[in-house]
Amino acid sequence: MWRFLSVALAALLAACPDNLEAQSHVSKLRVLAVRADPPELVLEPDAGLPATTLTALAVDPSDASVSVQFALCSEITSTPSPTLPCPGTAGIELPDAGPLSARLDLADPRIAAFASQVRLDGGAFDAGGGIADELDQGVPLLIGFSARAGEQRLDGFTSLTLRSNARGPAGVNPDAPDLEIGDGGPVLAREVLRLQPVVTGDDSRTYQFSFFSTEGSISSLRSTNRTATGQLTPTWVEWTAPEVAPPASVRFWVVLREADAGTAWIERSAVVSP
> What is the tens place of the pLDDT at every residue in 97-132?
988 999 999 999 999 888 777 654 444 444 444 566
> What is 30-167's CATH number?
2.60.40
**CA–CA distance, 84 with 213 (Å, rounded to integer):** 30
Question: Please, what's the b/e burial string for 9-31 (b: 16 or more CB within 10 A of its CB; e: otherwise)?
Answer: eeeeeeeeeeeeeeebbbeebbb
Q: How confident is the model at residue 264 (pLDDT cuts 50, 70, 90)?
A: very high
Domain residue ranges of the chain, discontinuous segments joined by +:
30-167, 178-273
> What is the tens place of the pLDDT at every residue in 220-263?
999 999 988 889 999 999 999 999 888 889 999 999 999 767 99
Q: Identify which has the larger pLDDT, 30 or 74.
A: 30
Yes or no: is domain 178-273 CATH 1.10.510.10?
Answer: no
Dihedral (CA of 87, 88, 94, 95) sign:
positive
Residues β-bridged to residue 188: 273
Domains 30-167 and 178-273 agree in fold: yes
